[in-house]
């Protein structure tokens, strides 16, 4: 009986902290972006050249069409909703070209993504940062 009382006290204490400090508890939601397709352009950090790409979310997976053509696989994405934005993270891998860690924000019909491409090499490693900006495909 005493343990039940302590658990109740802990719950009330946690609830009071959440209400006092406005702490938001965020839970990742499966398939939150499924069915959405974004078209836009990406560029390497500090470079002006841009290239077109299409980002797709389907069945819990993220797929970049442009990087898919370069051998990068689809990756399972993790998404969470906060207010009117959806935040997501995903890793895609190419056996030949390394891996890309993507992090993005979807707001209404637009998407902003930053991603880091890395490849371990025999003589040296490659690290590059990119950004993608796009809109929902109609």
Mean pLDDT of 61-80: 97
Considering Cα of 107, then 111, then 36, then 33, what sign does the dihedral take?
A: negative
Mean pLDDT of 56-82: 97
Write down the pTM of the prediction.
0.79
Position 42 scores a pLDDT of: 97
pLDDT (tens digit per residue) in 11-42: 445 545 444 444 444 556 778 999 999 999 99
């Amino acid at each position: 009986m005493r343990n039940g009382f302590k658990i109740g006290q802990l719950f009330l204490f946690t609830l009071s902290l959440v209400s006092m400090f406005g702490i938001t508890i965020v839970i990742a939601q499966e398939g939150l972006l499924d069915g959405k397709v974004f078209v836009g352009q990406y560029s390497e950090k500090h470079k002006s050249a841009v290239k077109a790409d299409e980002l797709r979310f389907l069945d819990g997976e993220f797929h970049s069409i442009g990087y898919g053509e370069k051998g990068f696989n689809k990756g399972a994405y993790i998404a969470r909703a906060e207010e009117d934005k959806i935040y997501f993270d995903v890793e895609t891998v190419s056996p030949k070209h390394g891996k890309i860690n993507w992090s993005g924000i979807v707001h209404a019909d637009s998407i902003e993504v930053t991603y880091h491409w890395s490849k371990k090499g025999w003589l040296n490693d490659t690290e590059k940062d990119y950004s993608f900006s796009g809109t929902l495909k109609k």
